[in-house]
Structure 1
Amino acid sequence: MDARMISYPDYLQLLPKTELHCHFVSTMDAALFVELAEKHGVELPSSDPATLFDFDDLVDFLVAFRYAHDVIRDPDDFERVAYDGVRSAVADGNLRYREYYVNPQYFAERGLSYPQVIDPIIAGLERAERDFGVGFRIVVAINRRDSAESAIELVGQILAHPRPQVVGLGQDDLTPESTEDPTRFAEAYRLAGGHGLKLTAHVGETDAATPANVRDAIEVLGCDRLDHGYRIVDDPAVVALALERGIGFAVTPVSTTICSGWTLDPAHRIRRMIDAGLPVAVSTDDAMFFRTDLGREYREGLFALGIDAETAKQISLNGIDAAFCDEEQKRMLRADFAAHFLALDALLEP
């Protein structure tokens, strides 16, 4: 083999990437998670990373996910998690732009105000942008365990404390009934959309979800982009609707092997979404908890799905198209990605 050549898995790992579905607290690594827990006296089920992130299903994972919000309390904690998460993602997967899900309602339960959460996160991400050139935006997420009224109050906080980096509203977790039920928060979405915020939602993810959840997110909530959405392939009419509306999907391959027990292979729902022409972009979802990183999602995930190089490049570009940043930043990202593609294509094994 020519010494200049690289393997296809290495090629996938080195492709420039966006990440549109990334929960802020999950950008910690396990060591920092344990360190912050000890700092604040938070008792974890285990301090051993080998067992700390063992989950039976999505509901079991969400219990652990809530622990992560217990350990980030001080401004320095938020800023450190923000900065270190970018540095790691650049090293692990050539991250060039990322959007973060942030859940102020979790932190409000611990006495932190909306600005006390958002501002140090922005400070850490701005410092990382200066050092590593990785752009970012923030999507504030409704916690579906909370009421529709609290979701409206959350949007009110976004509007009362505007930050140019906060550009969208989403929803995650599950309702107290362990359902998605996206339309429960329709009024909050109408308020956010009416004030120019971009809209997204976790839908079509769980075993109990249906294509109707995806349709409702598009038609009732008016979402610009969707997270997961895997159940869409069960209804060709909803696929056609998403294609007509130009809805992008932020999918997370590795998490589906844990939360749904699916095998990553060419029959996977994500591959079916890609084959249907849906504009899919790949993310980690919760990297720390699922023991993954952005490089692995491409290197192992896309490889196992049987994705070729041209499609992999298009998937990375889909992340730019579906991003909630402005057109000038998208133009700069496309030029940056084109340069990376040229260099990597020249090195790929024939």
Structure 2
Amino acid sequence: MILAAASTSRYLAAVPTTELHCHFASTIRPGRLVGWARERGVALRTDDPAELARYTGLQDFLELFNAAHAVFRSADDIALVAYEGVRACVATANLRYREYYVNPDNFADLGLGWPTVLSGMVAGLTRAREEFGVGFGIVPAVDRSRDLATAHAMLDTVLASPHPAVVGLGQDDLAADGYESATAWEPVFRRAREAGLRTSAHVGEISTSTAASVVEAVEVLGLDRVDHGYHVLDDPAVVEAARASGVHFNCTPTSAHLLSGWALDTTHPVARMIEAGLPVNLSTDDEVFFDTSLSAEFEHLTTDFGFGPDVVEAVCLNGVEASFTDEGTKETLRREFRVALDGARALLDA
């Protein structure tokens, strides 16, 4: 079933969503980013969010991403950004649950230690949960541009301030040589798993990635899910193995388009991964820095990739299954999503 244009926006506005590949700093509202940067003397290359989203590649993007952290000054700043980001996404994409990658080392460089960052995020996200009913999890991320000792120290800091909202360990940035180098952090990921944290890693995203690198990351790091993973498509045997394993893929259509040049049509790797039967969920990656939104990512499913409600609903439910929340919360989300999806489907016949 292909959705008619007149039905698409009404239907998509009603489907419940999760977001599992969301870098916290990128949830800052565009006006606040520009305003704080001007007020606090942080140089941005433009005041136009649309122009901010023009890159020549991932390394070019990462320079902006890392610089944007510099607008934060306190736990109150972090709490405000956390709350405003949820409020905006609830209004446009019916957000029900979100997990945030956050790099403690980037904030530590600003004099904001992990307990400060954590308290700010929890305060803002708890306020949003109370007002909008949106659950959350926090996933500290290894900065791959730094060394292994720094990653171990970061994990030490995280484990020294345990909190039920901290549900996993992830990765961001690139290694100093410009490669993903996902498995270089195996000792840190092993410690995280031993401490009860779930694991995810950015792999299979850039041009130097291979299908084998995705498999290697899953096996060596013991991953519960993969962020991106697009180059899994390079080898049909790996696609089959990934499908059989059930590993989930947190995919971000717009960022893949902007950073890797894949067209937003049926040839896009996310569309092909879905066609191949891989369990895909959708996220923005870095909402403000890519001038996108969660609602826009779901629109790609229908308008650009040509999928109907069966796929949209499967992607929504995949987000619940791939989340790092506890099983009781998952079961609640499953029930709520099925009811909401039935209601959304009814709108197609209204």
TM bucket (normalised to shorter chain) is over 0.9
Residue in 2 that maps onto 1:317: 317
| Number of matched pairs | 346
Answer yes or no: is the 8 Å Cα contact 2:93–2:294 preserved in 1: yes
- Higher mean alpha-carbon deviation, 282-291 vs 239-248, is at 239-248
1:65 aligns with 2:65: yes
**What SS class does the counterpart of residue 200 from structure 1 fall into?**
strand
Distance (Å, rounded) in 1 between the aligned partners of 2:128 and 2:222: 32
Percent sequence identity is 47
Distance (Å, rounded) in 2 between the aligned partners of 1:31 and 1:234: 40
Residue in 2 that maps onto 1:146: 146
Answer yes or no: is the 8 Å Cα contact 2:207–2:260 preserved in 1: yes
Unmatched tracts of structure 2, length 5 or more: none
Normalization by structure 2: what TM-score? 0.95
Letter in 2 for 1:17: T
Residue in 2 that maps onto 1:107: 107
Residue in 1 that maps onto 2:277: 277
**Deviation >3 Å, runs of 4+:** none
Cα-to-partner distance string for 1:274-297 (whole Å, 9 max, x where unaligned):
122111000000010111111111
Letter in 2 for 1:232: V
Answer yes or no: is the 8 Å Cα contact 1:6–1:347 preserved in 2: no
Q: What aligned pairs does 1:110-259 form with structure 2 within 5 A after superposition?
A: 110-259=110-259
**What SS class does the counterpart of residue 289 from structure 1 fall into?**
helix
Letter in 1 for 2:228: H
**How far did residue 50 of structure 1 move?**
4.1
**How far did residue 117 of structure 1 move?**
1.1
- Higher mean alpha-carbon deviation, 188-197 vs 106-115, is at 106-115
Residue in 2 that maps onto 1:96: 96
Distance (Å, rounded) in 2 between the aligned partners of 1:6 and 1:196: 47
**What SS class does the counterpart of residue 167 from structure 2 fall into?**
strand
**How far did residue 72 of structure 1 move?**
1.2
Letter in 2 for 1:331: E
**How far did residue 244 of structure 1 move?**
2.9
Letter in 1 for 2:55: F
Letter in 2 for 1:173: D
Letter in 1 for 2:35: E
**How far did residue 86 of structure 1 move?**
0.1
* RMSD after superposition: 1.5
Normalization by structure 1: what TM-score? 0.95
Unmatched tracts of structure 1, length 5 or more: none
Residue in 2 that maps onto 1:40: 40
**What SS class does the counterpart of residue 201 from structure 1 fall into?**
strand
Answer yes or no: is the 8 Å Cα contact 1:36–1:71 preserved in 2: yes
Distance (Å, rounded) in 1 between the aligned partners of 2:114 and 2:127: 20
Cα-to-partner distance string for 1:130-186 (whole Å, 9 max, x where unaligned):
000000001111111010111111111111110110010011111111100111111
